[in-house]
Amino acid sequence: MEDNGRDLLLIAHYYNRKALEFEPGRLPGTSRALTPREVDAMTLLALGYSRAQVADSLSISENTLRVYIESARSKLGALNTTHAVARAMSRGLIVV
């Protein structure tokens, strides 16, 4: 049951992101600010922490971390996690 709950959380994230595309007046590709937890996750990844270490440092599961990373990637228009970290750094959203 716990594994299914984690998958449902990730599906809910993607569903929410898709629903936001239909929001009236919203421009496609509009950059949104990262949440404090997304900033924390991206910062620790930029410092070279593994996903397991980041999850442990933030006292969250690796699946919850995955949701934060995917959300940040979406907001930054990044192709992968490394690209997201690079974009966050270049935009001054994280400093290492």
Q: Is residue 73 part of a domain?
A: yes
Average the pLDDT over 58-80 and give the result.
Answer: 95
Segment 9-35, tens digit of pLDDT: 566 656 656 665 665 655 544 457 899
**Band (7; pLDDT cuts 50, 70, 90):** low
Determine the Cα–Cα distance for residues 80 and 96; give it in Å rounded to an integer: 19
Total count of domains within the chain: 1
pLDDT at 83 over 90: yes
Average the pLDDT over 67-94 and give the result.
Answer: 94
Q: Is residue 11 part of a domain?
A: no
Q: Is residue 68 part of a domain?
A: yes
Q: Sign of the CA dihedral 17, 19, 25, 27?
A: positive
CATH value at residue 52: 1.10.10.10
Is the pTM for the entire model greater than 0.85? no
Q: Cα angle at 20 between 31 and 37, to 5 degrees?
A: 55
